[in-house]
Structure 1
């Protein structure tokens, strides 16, 4: 079973993105194990803190390094991605030369009540990820329009078409991890 470090871009207890992540977790049972990282505990990035890094920072880096892959599930704020995601990305990529994200297979998903989901925010995030040396899954993209009753309190998807789509995303991500989890730099560069 593959260990997936999960970054949730919403701090809300009743977040629809948290519900979406828990739904992915349920759909991936037996193949993926989710580790929800406590990125809310991170201070704002400050390079001066590396002499004595906060426990939340060292915990983040250790758990990312132990993970086989990373999943970001996030809302969209003002046509961009949440600052809490950027802060976590920055902390785990530092100090210079000690990027914990290097070579990690990554997938992105997001939910919104709106019709375009989180497309603009994910586009902004995708512009940042190559610099961090992730191996980013391009397809399928999940800009999920969250409607009341679509996912029940047990994280079961009540609509067959939506269930098939989300299960397809999870299967594609698991396959992506299998393919790129033990990255051979030459083979990735040649793809």
Structure 2
């Protein structure tokens, strides 16, 4: 479904004429994989300025996606994962005569959240020394530009690896029930994400770069 959404979400956004910020937020609420979401947001952002009827700047799509997916979803997932890891260690998995081990909480905790936190601290420390105009003029070409290039290659190798490691026979052996269950989740996620992004908070996402 992540691969399908790379084409589906930008395509529907283009048909509806969504602004890049709104489309990016919708992709952020709907995509389950970070790499696929970035690819979809970048693809739609690239249409801004070259395709009539698509308002917003190219960066708004990726910015909206990052704000929604990474900050709005992934970090909260990390927080709840920490809470559940504590509950599981101290309540659910208690064995008679065995005290809860704090190391179990660490092993259950999703480490990617720490990466987000450290990256945020680094970028905040760098950007806080510049005004917005100075940041766009001096920092973006030197720092953000190379990172975007690295991101593109990282996505290419990620999808190449996914393709090389996919085993359709193993997927088929699981049966159809998991597929339909996940598909139902996709429908709910995409629908709810559209309502929140394009209806409830449309004004905010449309003015993302304003």
Greater RCO (CA < 8 Å, at least 6 residues apart): 2
**Higher relative strand content:** 1
Q: TM-score, normalised by structure 2?
A: 0.28
**Higher relative helix content:** 2
Q: TM-score, normalised by structure 1?
A: 0.30
